[in-house]
Amino acid sequence: MKLKPICFIAARGGSKGVPGKNLRIVGGQPLISHTIRKALKSNIFSHVIVSTEDKKIAKVAKLSGADVPFLRPKYLATDNATTIAVILHAIKKLELLNY
């Protein structure tokens, strides 16, 4: 059996450059929905996972077809949080959830 990779989308709610950018409507749908739908349509991934601390982003992500199996801790949603720390957190959580 050939395993497919997991698509990981990090979507922080507290963007300062463009506030609320992940939920901004672009072409009739939230920006994050475009990313999720393209990933799903590619048929490359076994799962499309969104890591966020924001409940509104989580809701939109789920409605767009992504898995949001956990909410990211607030300390990993700051300007100082590194992408590596966010990814390592997600890997640990996904392993615990048997992804």
* pLDDT for the residue numbered 1: 67
Predicted pLDDT at 84: 97
**Alpha carbon of residue 26 to chain centroid:** 18
CA–CA distance, 56 with 11 (Å, rounded to integer): 11
The per-residue pLDDT string of the chain (99 residues; one tens digit each, 9 = 90 and over) reads 678 899 999 999 987 888 899 999 999 999 999 999 999 999 999 999 999 999 999 999 999 999 999 999 999 999 999 999 999 999 999 999 998
Q: What is the DSSP string of 18-67?
A: STTGGGSEETTEEHHHHHHHHHHHHT--SEEEEE-S-HHHHHHHHHTT-B
Planar angle of CA 79, 8, 14, nearest 5 degrees? 25
